[in-house]
């Protein structure tokens, strides 16, 4: 069965793509950071589902994906002999199908032959264009249609999710949107008969900025055409079908805990409704992303993290009437010290799949600069993710400065190494002097701090490439009142930065060499926060982020002002309490790259519990506020972009990163729950 199915899928993948979007004349290279993403690599694995305490499980774990890129959110194809999954190989999320190895030996063989060139041996199921996130794939039982989430079509309103459910007929490539326009859907699941699809949707109310607890309801509609859409279950996400009338899902209940729930649904003339809803997992631990299968009646798998455990594991719960909700650990005996996510059960009920860090020594070498496909690239500009934050290019394009965790580094932008640590404390933002070679401005001190916290603007001179002792640092501000985000003028004379010295964060300009000692001029003034400034290459404008439209609200928009203080205007705002930050001018000064929640969230946050927030994508806009374009499509947090005229060839640039700390991420603080009755160890950590 695998062969004809694969053939049909490959044929579908070759279909022509729609016309490319309009080109921009700006050119160059945009580099940005994705919080944490380059520090982990997921593969999809499986274990026998059979809850046997004596199962020599370690020997039975199979790796189902090839150790290339990040592979996640797997699902078995109907015949269980192939696996569907999401992968970011080749610089953009796409869906793939590959045969399931039938034995551990076969899995090991396919793993040992993996290398970056293996990326070329497996073809995506969907065309590359338009660039979009594709997520949570399933196939109809006859294997003819792929049902998935895509962000290919922009939402009509800013700050609305672009995520919607589509189905693609694999033999023809004919694609149909199943989600109504103006609505978002996440995490679709096709019923065992294929007739119905369930999905989690924030409904017409859309997204109002939630990160921690995205409220969705479960809608059910016909897989064929999206018709007969009806609200089946209020307050739930990540549906999974056990049979035609039983859906498992997760919900964060009023006690703060995510739990797995079961709903019996009934199809009536008007639509589908839940006849009963029952909580399966008790309070006291989080259990989410449930998985059920007609092949495993009476069983449901979920991702859980038990009290006292540092790791999330896959557990199976016996929910049959005589099972008394007994729990069986699936993954902990096999890989106790790694997080496991988003289980799925094979149609025959024999195996449970999940994704986890693939561990050391497998797959690609870590990347310093990972090429990311974007609309228009590489014809107009190339786009890269860097393993670090606040990247900026030297003006000859040869070096990149960026912030590590902690410290500040400079590397050669062509991947030839040359890594130097130029500062070892906490620094944020980097920008290079236009005239004096090897001078980088940054701010040192704590980030996200109050107006009065000591943070200073400094200029670091790199000196001689090969000699650490020639690095020198000059402090440009005095008094330390949260001075940050320096950006130099192209004539080399001035530096604009933000300071909290008046009690509010506003913009100021100082002499680039003498700093504040040479005098200081105030550029903006008011009881709000102006920050993250960037001076245009033509010298005419300073772009910055500000909450002046709603001081203290947490909402930021991008504004511009001439360096002489005239011409203030707002360029882009994602609306309401939206967040739009970190502007950086294009080389021709005619557009800006920035990060924003303009496209809301692209997945259920709890399906990525190691990402701090599931929004934050990279966009460009013309400086008159027109022509907003989304460059990144993923459910990660993308930020701190910068833009250089230097065109970096679109290819990945590897570097040996230190293995320690990779994959050692924490859950997000938003999974902590404040419950005095709970022991301390249930506070899962502050970062992720
Ligand atoms: C990578 O994407 C390009 C299109 O951008 C395509 O031509 C190429 O075949 C892809 N490579 C693989 C291995 O899929
Ligand atoms: C301020 O600077 C802008 C841009 O350089 C210029 O067009 C304008 O005339 C200047 N205004 C004043 C009052 O100097």
For the chain, domain boundaries: 42-283+350-355, 369-656
The residue whose CA has the least distance to atom 3 of ligand 2 is 562
**Relative to the alpha carbon of 20, which ligand is closest?**
1
Residue 684 has pLDDT above 60, yes or no: no
Q: Which DSSP letter does residue 13 get?
A: H
Across 279-287, average pLDDT:
94
With a pLDDT cut of 90, the percent of the chain lying above it is: 66
Q: What is the Rg, in whole angstroms, of the alpha carbon atoms belonging to the chain?
A: 26
3-state secondary structure of 218: strand
Q: How far is the CA of 219 from the centre of ligand 2 (A)?
A: 56
Mutate which of 567, 569, 589 for ligand 2? The one with the most ligand atoms within 8 Å of its CB, which is 567
Beta bridge partners of 630: 619
Q: How far is the CA of 123 from the centre of ligand 1 (A)?
A: 8
Q: How far is the CA of 107 from the centre of ligand 1 (A)?
A: 25
Residues whose CB is less than 8 angstroms from the CB of residue 564 and which lie 6 or more positions away in sequence, other chains included: none
Using CB distances shorter than 6 Å, the residues near ligand 1 are 90, 119-120, 123-124, 128, 373
Could you tell me if the CB of 568 is within 6 A of ligand 2? Answer: no
3-state secondary structure 561-595: ECCCCCCCEEEECCCCCCEEEEEEECCCCCEEEEE
* CA within 13 Å, CB half, 362: 23
Q: Rounded distance, CA 453 to CA 333, Å?
A: 47
Q: What is the pLDDT of residue 679?
A: 41
Q: What is the pLDDT of residue 6?
A: 43
Whether residue 484 is preceded by a cis peptide bond, meaning omega within 30 degrees of 0, is: no
- Cα dist. 244→55, 224, 263, 554, 650 in Å? 31, 16, 11, 45, 47
Across 356-373, average pLDDT:
72
The residue whose CA has the least distance to atom 8 of ligand 2 is 566
CB-CB contact of 304 with 287 (8 Å): yes
Across 219-223, average pLDDT:
97
Q: What is the pLDDT of residue 59?
A: 65
Q: How far is the CA of 124 from the centre of ligand 1 (A)?
A: 9
The DSSP line for 228-252 is S-EEEESS-EEEEEEETTEEEEEEE
pLDDT band for position 111 (50/70/90)?
Answer: low
Q: What is the pLDDT of residue 425?
A: 92
3-state secondary structure of 343: strand
Ligand 1 atom showing the smallest separation from residue 90 Cα? 1
Q: Rounded distance, CA 507 to CA 489, Å?
A: 14
Tens digits of residue pLDDT in 48-70:
987 565 555 556 889 999 888 89
The residue whose CA has the least distance to atom 4 of ligand 1 is 128
Could you tell me if the CB of 539 is within 6 A of ligand 2? Answer: no
Residue 15 has pLDDT above 70, yes or no: no
Domains 42-283+350-355 and 369-656 equal at CATH topology level: yes
CB-CB contact of 63 with 44 (8 Å): yes
The residue whose CA has the least distance to atom 1 of ligand 1 is 90
The residue whose CA has the least distance to atom 9 of ligand 2 is 566
Q: Which is it for strands 557-561 and 542-546: parallel, antiparallel or unpaired?
A: antiparallel
Q: What is the pLDDT of residue 609?
A: 85
Ligand 1 atom showing the smallest separation from residue 119 Cα? 13
Q: What is the pLDDT of residue 461?
A: 96
Q: Token pair for residue 166? A: 């589509």
Q: Decide which of 373 and 58 is more confident.
A: 373
Residue 628 has pLDDT above 90, yes or no: yes
Tens digits of residue pLDDT in 587-601:
999 999 999 999 999
Residue 361 has pLDDT above 60, yes or no: no
Q: Rounded distance, CA 397 to CA 408, Å?
A: 18
The DSSP element (H or E) to which 106 belongs, if any, is helix 104-112
Class of domain 369-656: mainly beta
Q: How far is the CA of 373 from the centre of ligand 1 (A)?
A: 10
The DSSP line for 401-470 is EEE-SSSEEEEETTS----EEEE-S-EEEEEE-SSSTTEEEEEES-SS--TTSB-EEEEEE--STT-GGG
Tens digits of residue pLDDT in 510-549:
999 999 999 999 999 999 999 999 999 999 999 999 999 9
Has this prediction a pTM greater than 0.85?
yes
pLDDT band for position 85 (50/70/90)?
Answer: very high
Tens digits of residue pLDDT in 636-683:
999 999 999 999 888 887 665 554 445 666 777 677 765 444 444 344
Ligand 2 atom showing the smallest separation from residue 563 Cα? 2
Tens digits of residue pLDDT in 396-424:
999 999 998 779 999 999 888 888 999 99
**Relative to the alpha carbon of 128, which ligand is closest?**
1
Could you tell me if the CB of 469 is within 6 A of ligand 2? Answer: no
Residue 616 has pLDDT above 70, yes or no: yes
Q: Rounded distance, CA 296 to CA 294, Å?
A: 5
Residue 1 has pLDDT above 50, yes or no: no
Mutate which of 90, 124, 134, 633 for ligand 1? The one with the most ligand atoms within 8 Å of its CB, which is 90
CB-CB contact of 35 with 637 (8 Å): yes
- Considering the segment(s) 42-283+350-355 as one domain, its CATH architecture is 6 Propeller (2.120)
pLDDT band for position 10 (50/70/90)?
Answer: very low
Q: Which DSSP letter does residue 52 get?
A: -
CB-CB contact of 273 with 264 (8 Å): no
Residue 431 has pLDDT above 60, yes or no: yes
- Surface-to-core class of residue 652, CB atoms within 10 Å of its CB (0-12 exposed, 13-18 middle, 19+ buried): buried
Q: What is the pLDDT of residue 380?
A: 79
């Amino acid at each position: 069965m695998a062969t004809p199915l694969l053939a049909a899928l490959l044929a579908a993948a070759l279909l022509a793509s729609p016309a490319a979007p309009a080109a921009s004349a700006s050119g160059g290279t945009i580099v940005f950071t994705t919080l944490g993403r380059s520090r982990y690599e997921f593969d999809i694995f499986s274990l026998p589902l059979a809850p046997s305490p004596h199962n020599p499980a370690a020997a039975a774990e199979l790796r189902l994906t090839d150790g290339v890129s990040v592979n996640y959110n797997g699902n078995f194809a109907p015949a269980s002999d192939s696996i569907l999954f999401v992968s970011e190989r080749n610089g953009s999320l796409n869906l793939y199908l590959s045969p399931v190895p039938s034995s551990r030996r076969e899995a090991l063989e396919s793993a040992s032959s993996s290398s970056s060139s293996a990326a070329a041996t497996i073809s995506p199921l969907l065309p590359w264009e338009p660039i979009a996130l594709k997520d949570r794939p399933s196939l109809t039982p006859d294997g003819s249609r792929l049902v998935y989430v895509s962000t290919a079509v922009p939402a009509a309103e800013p700050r609305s999710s672009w995520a919607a459910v589509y189905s693609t007929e694999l033999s023809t490539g004919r694609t149909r949107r199943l989600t109504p326009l103006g609505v978002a859907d996440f995490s679709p699941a096709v019923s065992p008969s294929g007739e119905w699809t369930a999905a989690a949707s924030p409904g017409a109310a859309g997204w109002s900025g939630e990160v921690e607890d995205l409220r969705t309801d479960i809608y059910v509609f016909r897989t064929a055409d999206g018709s007969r859409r009806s609200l089946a279950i209020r307050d739930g996400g990540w549906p999974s079908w056990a049979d035609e009338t039983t859906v498992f899902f997760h919900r964060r209940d009023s006690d703060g805990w995510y739990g797995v729930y079961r709903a019996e649904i009934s199809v009536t003339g008007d639509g589908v409704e839940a006849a009963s809803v029952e909580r399966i997992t008790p309070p006291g631990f989080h259990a989410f992303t449930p998985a059920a299968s007609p092949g495993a009646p009476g069983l449901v798998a979920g991702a859980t993290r038990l009290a006292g455990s540092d790791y999330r594991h896959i557990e199976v719960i016996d929910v049959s009437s005589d099972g008394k909700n007994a729990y069986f650990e699936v993954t902990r005996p096999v890989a106790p010290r790694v997080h496991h996510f988003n289980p799925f059960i094979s149609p025959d009920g024999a195996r449970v799949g999940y994704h986890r860090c693939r561990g050391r020594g497998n797959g690609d070498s870590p990347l310093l600069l990972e090429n990311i496909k974007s609309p228009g690239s590489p014809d107009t500009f190339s786009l890269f993710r860097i393993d670090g934050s606040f990247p900026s290019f030297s003006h000859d394009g040869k070096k990149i400065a960026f912030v590590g965790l902690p410290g500040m580094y400079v590397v050669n932008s062509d991947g030839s190494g040359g890594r130097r640590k130029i500062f070892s404390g906490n620094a944020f933002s980097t920008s290079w002097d236009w005239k004096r070679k090897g001078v980088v401005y940054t701010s040192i001190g704590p980030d996200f701090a109050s107006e009065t916290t000591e943070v200073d603007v400094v200029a670091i001179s790199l000196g001689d490439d090969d000699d650490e002792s020639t690095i020198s640092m000059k402090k440009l501000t005095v008094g330390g009142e949260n001075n940050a985000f320096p950006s130099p003028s192209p004539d080399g004379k001035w530096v604009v930065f933000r300071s909290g010295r008046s009690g509010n964060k506003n913009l100021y300009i100082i002499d680039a060499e003498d700093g504040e000692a040479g005098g200081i001029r105030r550029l903006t003034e008011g009881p709000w926060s102006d920050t993250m400034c960037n001076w245009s290459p033509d010298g005419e404008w300073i772009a910055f982020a500000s909450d002046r439209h709603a001081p203290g609200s947490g909402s930021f928009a991008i504004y511009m002002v001439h360096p002489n203080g005239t011409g203030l205007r707002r360029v882009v705002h994602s609306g309401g309490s939206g967040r739009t930050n970190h502007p950086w001018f294009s080389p021709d000064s005619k557009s800006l790259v920035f990060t924003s929640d303009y496209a809301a969230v692209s997945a259920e946050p709890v399906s990525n519990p190691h990402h701090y927030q599931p929004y934050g994508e990279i966009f460009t806009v013309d400086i008159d506020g027109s022509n907003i374009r989304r460059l990144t499509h993923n459910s990660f947090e993308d930020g701190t972009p910068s833009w250089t005229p230097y065109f970096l060839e679109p290819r990945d640039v590897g570097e040996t990163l230190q293995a320690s700390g990779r994959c050692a991420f924490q859950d997000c603080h938003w999974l902590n729950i404040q419950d005095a009755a709970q022991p301390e160890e249930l506070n899962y950590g502050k970062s992720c």
